[in-house]
Amino acid sequence: MNKNNIAIIGAGSWGTALALLLARKGLAVTLWAHRPEHVDQIRSCRENRLYLPGFSLPETITLTADIDEAVLGTSTIVMVVPSHVFRSVFVRMKGSISQDQVIVSATKGIENDTLMTMTQVMSDEFVSDRYAVLSGPSFAKEVAAEKPTAVTVAAKDIRIAESVQEVFFTERFRVYTSTDVIGVELGGPLKNIVAIASGICDGLGYGTNTRAALITRGLAEITRLAVTMGASPLTLSGLAGLGDLVLTCTGDLSRNRSVGLKLGQGMTIEAIQDEMQMVAEGVKTTRSAWFLAQKMGVEMPILEQVYQVLYAGKSCKAATRDLLVRGGRNEIG
């Protein structure tokens, strides 16, 4: 098994950006896409025109729609498929993986039916002590354009985290390590919900005061749930928590903020999803996170209102009003 052979499972914008990052390091990368016609398109012009146009992919990136071919003989497998198909894709490939391979989740989501994180989904299907999660403030387009970026990789075994750190670390892509897997893994999907709320407020014409309040109180909610599930609060003040939250709530490249913006401007969620080419994970995560918060007994008022807008037909103005008129609280505690 060659330690320089990496499989990227998922040829969306993020998977393609990570493949490009690793190929520029001189690593041999296999990029898997589930549709053969998508593979043919990328291979023919060496560009993912559907999800990451404008970036030429070097010949050291091999394209395939055969998932067994993608993972066999690789040292590291990076899962970058949407959370709602994560389990089914992993099941397809698990017959070709081994205990020697490190498997990294770069997907930010919570499975709807089981309320599991992605590493929990993998552990449910294949017992291994070599799972890791990569997360942090990182738009695919900026990583592909080699804009300086910093992320966190977490694994229960710090040696596994350090091995993934070595794979991804470059002069423009700084990787920190952690052993707080649940904290790093929850920060990513939960911040997407707050980003939808931030977009809603922008769409309604509210100001930067509102956005700052949402980011701050959103972080409080995320931290409450994550700590209840065993995370360190310090993790949520780091790159995988606060860093990713700020980026997604303020950045113009944020798909989740874009969904909220259009909701605030009066579009329905059905119309928004019909016109979107890429997945906004926060829409599905809102549902799973709502059930998870109920299960854990954690109060999350921003999540509650986003859930009501997306799944109960509540108006954006009514949702923001109900957030503002809640009874007074002590900020800390």
Catalytic residues, by residue number, are 191
Task: Find out whether 245 and 194 touch, Cβ atoms under 8 Å.
Answer: yes
Of 312, 120, 322, 151, which is closest to residue 238 (Cα–Cα)? 151
Please give the helix or strand (H or E) that residue 148 lies within, else none: none
- Report the distance separating Cα 84 and Cα 80, nearest Å: 12
Task: Tell me which DSSP letter residue 77 carries.
Answer: E
- Report the distance separating Cα 30 and Cα 21, nearest Å: 13
Q: Pairing mode, if any, of strands 74-79 and 28-32?
A: unpaired
Please give the helix or strand (H or E) that residue 103 lies within, else none: strand 102-105
Taken as a whole, the chain contains a residue count of: 333
Task: Find out whether 163 and 135 touch, Cβ atoms under 8 Å.
Answer: no
Which DSSP string do the residues of 239-271 spell out, in sequence order? IIIIIHHHHHHH-TT-HHHHHHHHHHTT--HHH
Task: Find out whether 63 and 42 touch, Cβ atoms under 8 Å.
Answer: yes
Task: Find out whether 143 and 21 touch, Cβ atoms under 8 Å.
Answer: yes
- Report the distance separating Cα 22 and Cα 27, nearest Å: 6
Please give the helix or strand (H or E) that residue 8 lies within, else none: strand 2-9
Task: Tell me which DSSP letter residue 205 carries.
Answer: T
Residue whose tokens read 């593979």? 39
